[in-house]
């Protein structure tokens, strides 16, 4: 996705265990994309979002219920082209 969509790519890291998502968010950021990670309070399992946040690549750390509006705003306001 990172190579195909470059700065238009948006990654969303949701509740889960492990850290494999941190590799993907690194690729997204390298190509100029945007990364959203779910916050600890709303995540049932914080392993994956924590790894993305710890990598330093998360642009936004949001509650689960805030993510849809953030995605809509990023796309409709032209932040992500």
Say whether 5 sits in a helix, a strand or coil.
helix
* pLDDT given for residue 81 in this prediction: 46
CA distance 51 to 48: 5
Q: Tokens at residue 70, please?
A: 């953030």
The mean pLDDT values, 10 residues at a time, for the chain of 81 residues are: 93 91 91 96 96 96 97 83 46
The span from the first CA to the last CA of the chain, in angstroms, equals 14
* pLDDT value, residue 80: 57
CATH for 2-76, options being 3.40.50.180, 1.10.10.10, 1.25.40.10, 3.40.190.10: 3.40.50.180
pTM: 0.92
């Amino acid at each position: 996705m990172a190579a195909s969509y470059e700065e238009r790519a948006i990654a969303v890291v949701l509740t889960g265990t492990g850290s494999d998502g941190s590799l993907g968010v690194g690729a997204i950021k390298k190509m100029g994309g945007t990364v959203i990670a779910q916050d600890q309070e709303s995540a049932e399992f914080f392993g994956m979002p924590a790894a993305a946040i710890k990598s330093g690549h998360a642009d936004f750390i949001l509650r689960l219920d805030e993510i849809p509006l953030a995605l809509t705003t990023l796309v409709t306001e032209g932040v992500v082209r």
